[in-house]
Amino acid sequence: MTVDRGTRPTRRAVPSTRPPGEGLATADAGGAARPVPAATVARLAVYLRVLTTLLDEGRTVVSSEELAAAAGVNSAKLRKDLSHIGSSGVRGVGYEVSRLTAEVEATLGLTQPHAVALVGVGNLGHALAGYGGFAQRGFPVAALFDVDPALVGTEIGGVEVVHASEIPRVCAERGVTIGVVATPARAAQEVCDHLVAAGVRSILNFAPTVLAVPAGVEVRKVDLAVEMQVLSFHVARRHGSVPAAGPVTGTTAPTAPTPREAVTR
């Protein structure tokens, strides 16, 4: 899809994800900000999913071993992760499920819902828009956008699809805080610019391209093809078809030039 061109916000190209090691920041006992590693932030979201299930089951206490196993990590890593947010269980008992859930939610900024705008309701976008799990986790889809006349005016999950030229107005009216880009690569940057101009500072990008955004705008990129390629690597490694080091089979490594060659080149 393409969108109507308007005045683009001034931006400088920055990486679309945080540098390695960066994450959220929590306050210590003295009120000073303590960084939470990005990998820990990702695992906190997994812990929260497990904790929510335990709450639904009526559980009141969970051991670090059980919580770690359900989240797919070891208990030592779990305890270290939770120490970043000031959570410590009771030795021999474990963690109070409701309290730990509240602490993780507060750290992840989930104490209030985040209105989501999704741009591009083709095959992938339509599936995302119709997924009820977002609203259940505090991310209700508040706005849908596209430029296809066949889609504009239709409804998905009770939300009407609006023309993409209305992004600034609709996002402002509905208090959108998170934007989702599910357009073809050629339209993604323009869509991103419109979202930023509308005041959206958090963007989830499904388009197969890197977005340039101003400082202060957070972009998370989800590239399903890249994830498949990573899985392909692991499949190949299990079958022994990935060389441990050196050139790929069938190729010849370049030889270093002799001193005479190096001078005459």
Contact 171, 195 (CB under 8 A): yes
What residues form the annotated binding site for NAD(+)? 120-125
Contact 193, 11 (CB under 8 A): yes
Query: What is the rounded CA–CA span in Å between residue 104 and residue 124?
Result: 30
Annotate 20-44 with b (16+ C-beta within 10 A) or e (fewer): eeebbebeeeeeeeeebbbebbebb
Quick one: which of 140, 72, 88, 139 has its CA closest to 109? 139
pLDDT tens figures, 216-242: 999 999 998 999 999 999 999 988 876
- pLDDT tens-place values along the chain, 265 residues long: 645 444 444 444 444 444 434 455 554 444 445 688 889 999 999 999 999 999 999 999 999 999 999 999 999 999 999 999 988 778 888 999 999 999 999 999 998 889 999 999 999 999 999 998 899 888 999 999 999 999 999 999 999 999 999 999 999 999 999 999 999 999 999 999 999 999 999 999 999 999 999 999 999 999 989 999 999 999 999 888 766 665 555 555 555 555 444 444 4
Contact 145, 118 (CB under 8 A): yes
H or E stretch covering 194: helix 185-197
HSE (side-chain half, CA atoms, 13 Å) at 219? 25
What residues form the annotated binding site? 120-125
Domains present along the chain, CATH in parentheses = 37-107 (1.10.10.10), 115-225 (3.40.50.720)
